[in-house]
Amino acid sequence: MNKMEYRIDAKIIKQICLFLMLHNIKNFDLSFHSNKRNVIFIIKSPLFSKDLLDRMNEKLSRERETAIEVYGWELLGDTDSQNELDILGALIDEITISHEEKMSIVTLKRHYKYEQ
């Protein structure tokens, strides 16, 4: 795996955590699953509001833009604002939102592009 991909993955984790904490989500699970082709982040929490899930869906379902990724990925995880998911949206290929009992599950998928 390219080291650059790991650095970006780590930044994405930081960004997700900070975003959730700034939205007062104090109880969540974040799991990380990486293979040769892609990475999946799964976020589970009983505290997601519909409004927050809609906003995440809107921001993270935008088209992947590698130009923005290459230019601005270093800014990931460096925010004090509650609504800055724009850069993360440019790094994510797919988002799915599902519900299990009282738990909401957000799954983010990112295809690896950098070669070894």
Partner 1 sequence: MDLINFIKRRMLIPIVFVVIFSLAFIVDTPKNIFAGYIRILQSPSVLISDYLRIGGLGATLFNVATIIFFNTLILSKLKFKMTGPIFAGVLTIAGFSFFGKNLFNTLPIYLGIYLYSKTQRIDFKSFIIVVLFSTGISPLVSFMIFGTDWPLYFGLPAGILAGVFVGFVLPAFSAHTIRFHRGYNLYNIGFALGVLSMLFAVVLHSFNVKLDVGGPTSEAYHTELVFMSLGLSLIFLVAAFIYDPQVIKKYPKLLKSSGRLVSDFISDYGKAVSIFNVAMMGFVSVGMLLILGLKINGPVMGGILTVMGFGAFGKHPRNAIPVMFGAWLGVVLTNYSLDSVGMVIALLFVTAVSPIAGRYGPFIGMIAGFIHILITPLAYAFQGGFDLYNNGFAAGFVAALMIPLLEAISQNKKLEVQNE
Judged by the rule CB under 8 A, the positions of this chain that interact with partner 1 are 62-63, 65-75, 78, 80-81, 84, 86-87, 90, 113-115
Q: Which residues neighbour 45 within 8 Å (Cβ) at sequence distance 6 or greater?
A: 20, 25, 27, 28, 29, 103, 104
Cβ 61 to partner 1 shortest distance, Å: 12
Cβ 74 to partner 1 shortest distance, Å: 5
Nearer to partner 1, 73 or 104 (CB): 73
Cβ 84 to partner 1 shortest distance, Å: 7
Instruction: Return the bridge partners of 34, or none.
Output: 39
Q: For residues 21 and 83, is the Cβ–Cβ distance under 8 A?
A: no
